[in-house]
Amino acid sequence: QESKKTDPSSFDLVKKSKIYVDEIQDYTQIECLVFFYLGGPSGLFLAGDPAQSVVEGTEFRFEDIRSVGHFVSGSGSDRSYILQKPKIVNVNFRSHAGILNCASSFLGLLFRYFPGSARQLQTDVGLFQGARPGLMHKVDMSQLATLLSDKLKGTVVLCHDECARHLRHMLGGYNFVYGIRESKGLEFKSVIILDFFRELPVGLQKPWRNLLLKREGLDFEKKYPLVGTYLKLLYTGI
């Protein structure tokens, strides 16, 4: 806003008629404010999934985006900066039903035990049927490295971001190892989520087990709020 007043010619160079932003849940309100000033509300197309808000330092709700419009419009009668209510799209054109059903099961746990962590939406529906994700137990790293260099070549390995470098080394320098947060917004044909549960903080191992076995007990959300964060992370990875 300051540059718009002091250097309008430079501002006009960066101002756009249309701005399309994906993964909007990863942006702060300050960054969203910049989008408003550069494109105006009629020039914005924002898309995202509140349940995939896993970037540290952000806590996203679409209602917060509309509040930015209220801030820009100020106390005057100009309502043009206030965005329309978000439209919800539940048909998934990217993943088949096998993957979506698996992701929805963890999303259901998030909505049930952490109802305030994200807006509760309907389950995504896929256009095609497909196999459920497989589960590998007690994976031998050397064998997995061999498979990734041969039959599974090109498969992307996802993990906790802080473990990516270590797992890349354990897999013989395999290049396609990424943290889940690091790879957000990208699309891959084949994915392995590696050591997600084993690399959870020690203090969350038992609560996770109790959650999956439905032995969570009272005040679970208050006692273990970080479990909700990791539920979002696993859902995002899937």
pLDDT in tens, 127-163: 888 888 998 888 899 999 999 999 999 999 999 999 9
18-30: pLDDT as tens digits: 788 888 888 887 8
Amino acid letter for position 221:
E
Q: pTM for this one?
A: 0.80
Provide the token pair at 224: 């273990």
- The span from the CA of 26 to the CA of 83, in Å, is 19
Please indicate whether residue 213 or residue 6 has the higher confidence score (pLDDT): 213
Cβ atoms of residues 11 and 18 within 8 Å: no
Torsion of CA 152, 155, 161, 167, to 10 degrees: 20
Q: How confident is the model at residue 126 (pLDDT cuts 50, 70, 90)?
A: confident
CB distance 52 to 184 below 8 Å: yes
pLDDT at 1 over 60: no
Query: What pLDDT, on a 0 to 100 scale, did the predictor assign at position 191?
Result: 94
As given in the structure block, the two tokens for residue 165 are 């470098």
The residue type at 197: F
Q: What is the CA radius of gyration of the chain?
A: 21
93 confidence band (pLDDT: 50, 70, 90): confident
Closest CA to 195 of 141, 130, 118, 114: 141
Mean pLDDT in residue range 95-108: 90
Measure the CA–CA gap between 184 and 191, rounded to whole angstroms.
Answer: 13
- pLDDT tops 80 at residue 174: yes
Q: What is the dihedral of CA 199, 22, 26, 92, to 10 degrees?
A: -50
Q: How many helices (H) and strands (E) does the chain have?
A: 10, 7
Beta strands in 53-142 (DSSP E): 91-92, 125-126
Q: If pLDDT is split at 50, 70 and 90, which confidence band does 77 have?
A: low
- How large is the average pLDDT for residues 227-237? 92
- H-helix or E-strand spanning residue 146: helix 141-148
Query: What does each C-alpha distance from 174 to 4, 37, 167 come to in angstroms?
Result: 48, 43, 9
pLDDT at 75: 58
Give me the mean pLDDT over the 211-219 stretch: 85
Most confident of 70-74, 101-105, 135-139, 192-196: 192-196
**Residues in contact with 72: Cβ distance below 8 Å, sequence separation at least 6, in sequence order:** 33, 36, 37, 81
